[in-house]
Amino acid sequence: MHTQVLVVGAGNAGMSAAVAAKERGAQVVIIEKAPREHRGGNSALTGHMRLPYEGIEDLVPLVPNMSEQEIRHMAEHMARKRYLVADFYDDVMRVTDGRSDPDLLEIVVTQAYPTARWMRDMGHEWVPSYANPVSANVVSFNGGGYGLQERWFAVAERMGIPIHYGTAATELLEDDMGRVTGVRALTPQGYRIFRAKAVIMACGGFESNAEMRARYLGPGWDTVKMRGVPFNTGEGLRMALEIGALPAGSWSSCHASPQDLNRPPFGLPALAKLGDEWNRYSYPFGIMVNVHGRRFVDEGETWRGLTYAKTGRAVLAQPQGVAFQIFDAKCRRLDVIRDYERATGAKANSLEGLAEQLGVAPKGLVETVREFNAAVQPGEFNPFALDGKRAVGITPPKSNWALTVDTPPFEGFPVCCGITFTFGGLRINTKAQVVHVMDRPIPGLYAVGEMMGGLWHWNYPSGSGMAAGSVFGRIAGTTAAQEAVG
Ligand SMILES: Cc1cc2nc3c(=O)[nH]c(=O)nc-3n(C[C@H](O)[C@H](O)[C@H](O)COP(=O)(O)OP(=O)(O)OC[C@H]3O[C@@H](n4cnc5c(N)ncnc54)[C@H](O)[C@@H]3O)c2cc1C
């Protein structure tokens, strides 16, 4: 099989690349490891794509059929009236301790909005999601990531881009000049060679590979539950490293968030279209303790979207790798415990009773709550803003949304660490070309999406993965098409 541009992996990054390459006149083929019924990648499990906007007028073109009344309502209720390119840049730099690659990040933040408009032109749609407290993402994909991916597949079909499902790339092929000339792949009918003038690798990180998790992330990570699909087992990274690709970014860290203790071991797109019911993201409004009843993070450090990706790691570090989110009746009354309808949990009229049901040390919990309540400062609670209502003089402090825990019934929810995706990847240049350890691009090879390294270190702002995947997917597709056709 010969083509001009071969895309490996049909997630959002791969689909953006394939469609951009086809738009530029290239002949494009996609190979995808998952069977057709489980297609979509982690991208199909998402909700948001982080976008800068100068005001509601930038969001309206992304959301079809909004009435004047709906636009007015949204403008009044958005937690952030504007979110500038500089805010996006600063958020990433802040949560990564300034370690994000400035050149790649600059491209992501400046191109995220134009790329969303390009996606809109391709038929994608957004819906308002401003009603979610502590989220800076004020629009989300219509139909979630599942809807997004189904639209990408429809676009690909319309444009005549074939997708070979159940086909896993296993090896990159090179000529004597070190140019990548295609891949060897395992198909349902056995091994097959796919030749191409340009290969765009978009086949995810190594989050679904227990051996690689233990090797790179450290002890305990082999046993964590996965939020994502079981297909991203890191062979794309391995194949590229084998031909001299330069690793980049944080190979020892990942995105991991608090998840229901009883969540299944992995996610699948077919289940995601029903909504993700396992996230336990209301912790900024309560307190989070370990089995000894002790707090271990500032639950209200900042917007939830800037803390959740590092909170899974903090949970894993606790005894037995579990933690407990504790709320009192005020939180129910204020309606800030969202999407916990089917959560594993317990309810009791006393803290001792709750602790016993949860398996938390009762004395520890009671002491922690007493100390916490005494540290809560006066101030107005506002779940839609960084309200500065703090608990001070304790370790750790709580910087926002500090409500006393004193009104029964009390509720508690056990959580574990769920890995979302890994941060370690390949060094790419600003054209998405993979860089060789000899510090020059590997001819014919591109990497996008979770495979590109350098943007995220230890933490990550929600919605940024889809932004980076779309932006660099589009760049890779455009450049690869120029290379292959030109
Ligand atoms: C539950 C969940 C929720 C998330 N929510 C958000 C969100 O709201 N916003 C956000 O920005 N990010 C979110 N993320 C992160 C986001 O999913 C990723 O950043 C993004 O999907 C990366 O896109 P991708 O195309 O690189 O990877 P994927 O979408 O995972 O695509 C990779 C594809 O490659 C295929 N593949 C793997 N190995 C091979 C092989 N050897 N050969 C061929 N194909 C292969 C896989 O089957 C898969 O289809 C979430 C992740 C999860 C798991």
User: What are the counts of helices (DSSP H) followed by strands (DSSP E) for the chain?
Assistant: 14, 18
Match 């990159």 to its residue by tokens: 172
Nearest-angstrom CA–CA distance, 135 and 306:
9
CA distances from 337 to 49, 282, 462 (A): 23, 5, 19
Q: How far is ligand 1, taken at its centre, from the CA of residue 57, in Å?
A: 30
Distance from CA of residue 67 to its chain's centroid?
31
Residue 130, pLDDT score? 73
pLDDT value at 179 more than 80: yes
Nearest-angstrom CA–CA distance, 415 and 258:
6
Residue 135: which pLDDT band, with cuts at 50, 70 and 90?
Answer: low
- Say if strands 2-8 and 190-201 run parallel, antiparallel, or are unpaired: parallel
Helix (H), strand (E) at residue 168: strand 168-174
**Could you give phi then psi for residue 416, rounded to 5 degrees?**
-125, 180
Please give the average per-residue pLDDT across 336-343, as a whole number.
93
Residues 174/35, Cβ–Cβ less than 8 Å: no
pLDDT value at 219 more than 60: yes
| Residues in contact with ligand 1 (CB, 6 Å cut-off) | 8-14, 31-34, 41-43, 45-49, 168-169, 202-204, 227-229, 231-232, 235-236, 267, 276, 420-421, 449-450, 463-466, 469
**β-strand partners of 422:** 254
pLDDT digits (tens, 9 = 90+) for 349-403: 999 999 999 999 999 999 999 999 999 999 999 998 899 999 999 999 999 999 9
Q: How far is ligand 1, taken at its centre, from the CA of residue 41, in Å?
A: 5
Residues 5/198, Cβ–Cβ less than 8 Å: yes
Report residue 208 as tokens.
């679904």
Which atom number of ligand 1 is nearest to the Cα of residue 140?
A: 8
Does residue 486 or residue 144 have the better pLDDT? 144
Please give the average per-residue pLDDT across 294-314, as a whole number.
96
Atom 21 in ligand 1: residue holding the nearest Cα:
43
Q: Is 99 exposed, middle or buried (0-12, 13-18, 19+ CB in 10 A)?
A: middle
Q: How far is ligand 1, taken at its centre, from the CA of residue 114, in Å?
A: 22
pLDDT value at 225 more than 90: yes
Atom 36 in ligand 1: residue holding the nearest Cα:
203
Nearest-angstrom CA–CA distance, 404 and 387:
15
Task: Spell out the domain ranges in the chain.
Answer: 2-253+423-485, 260-418
Q: On the CB side of 181, how many CA atoms lie within 13 Å of its CA?
A: 8
Q: How far is ligand 1, taken at its centre, from the CA of residue 84, in Å?
A: 26
Report residue 73 as tokens.
């309502």
Which atom number of ligand 1 is nearest to the Cα of residue 170?
A: 41
CATH for 260-418 (3.30.200.20, 3.40.50.720, 3.90.700.10, 2.40.10.10)? 3.90.700.10
CA distances from 164 to 36, 183, 322, 482 (A): 9, 13, 41, 24
DSSP string covering 61-105, please? GGSTT--HHHHHHHHHH-S-S-B-HHHHHHHHHHHTTT-S-HHHH
Looking at residue 116, its amino acid is A
Which pTM was predicted?
A: 0.96
Q: How far is ligand 1, taken at its centre, from the CA of residue 354, in Å?
A: 38
Residue 68, pLDDT score? 94
Which atom number of ligand 1 is nearest to the Cα of residue 467?
A: 11
Which atom number of ligand 1 is nearest to the Cα of residue 15?
A: 25
Which atom number of ligand 1 is nearest to the Cα of residue 12?
A: 25
Looking at residue 239, its amino acid is M
Report residue 376 as tokens.
């809560």
Which atom number of ligand 1 is nearest to the Cα of residue 226?
A: 53
Question: Is the previous residue joined to 409 through a cis bond, with omega within 30 degrees of 0?
Answer: yes
Which atom number of ligand 1 is nearest to the Cα of residue 185?
A: 42
pLDDT digits (tens, 9 = 90+) for 98-132: 999 999 999 999 999 999 999 999 999 999 987 66
Question: To test the ligand 1 pocket, which listed residue (29, 165, 203) has its Cβ within 8 A of the most ligand atoms?
Answer: 203
Atom 18 in ligand 1: residue holding the nearest Cα:
465
Looking at every residue in the chain, the average pLDDT score rounds to 96
**Percentage above 70 pLDDT, the chain:** 98
Q: How far is ligand 1, taken at its centre, from the CA of residue 92, in Å?
A: 19
Nearest-angstrom CA–CA distance, 178 and 313:
39
CA distances from 129 to 24, 77, 80, 417 (A): 34, 10, 12, 26
Q: How far is ligand 1, taken at its centre, from the CA of residue 205, in Å?
A: 8
* CA angle in degrees (0–180, nearest 5) for 235-237-238: 60
Atom 3 in ligand 1: residue holding the nearest Cα:
46
Q: How far is ligand 1, taken at its centre, from the CA of residue 31, in Å?
A: 15
Please give the average per-residue pLDDT across 2-28, as a whole number.
98
pLDDT value at 486 more than 90: no
* 3-state SS record for 389-423: CCECCCCCCECCCCCCCCCCCEEEEEEEEEEEEEC
Q: How far is ligand 1, taken at its centre, from the CA of residue 284, in Å?
A: 27
**β-strand partners of 376:** 391
Q: Which of 337, 331, 257, 336 is nearest to 297 (CA)?
A: 257
Q: What is the CATH number of domain 2-253+423-485?
A: 3.50.50.60
Atom 50 in ligand 1: residue holding the nearest Cα:
46
Residues 260/320, Cβ–Cβ less than 8 Å: no
Question: To test the ligand 1 pocket, which listed residue (8, 29, 33, 42) has its Cβ within 8 A of the most ligand atoms?
Answer: 42
Q: How far is ligand 1, taken at its centre, from the CA of residue 430, in Å?
A: 21
pLDDT value at 274 more than 80: no
Q: How far is ligand 1, taken at its centre, from the CA of residue 271, in Å?
A: 15
Nearest-angstrom CA–CA distance, 473 and 420:
20
Distance from CA of residue 423 to its chain's centroid?
10
Q: Is 121 exposed, middle or buried (0-12, 13-18, 19+ CB in 10 A)?
A: exposed
DSSP assignment letter at 216: I
Residues shown for the chain: 486
Q: How far is ligand 1, taken at its centre, from the CA of residue 146, in Å?
A: 11
Please give the average per-residue pLDDT across 257-273, as a whole number.
90
pLDDT value at 136 more than 80: no
Which atom number of ligand 1 is nearest to the Cα of residue 450?
A: 26
CA distances from 302 to 329, 339, 357, 399, 408 (A): 23, 20, 31, 7, 27
Question: To test the ligand 1 pocket, which listed residue (6, 36, 43) has its Cβ within 8 A of the most ligand atoms?
Answer: 43
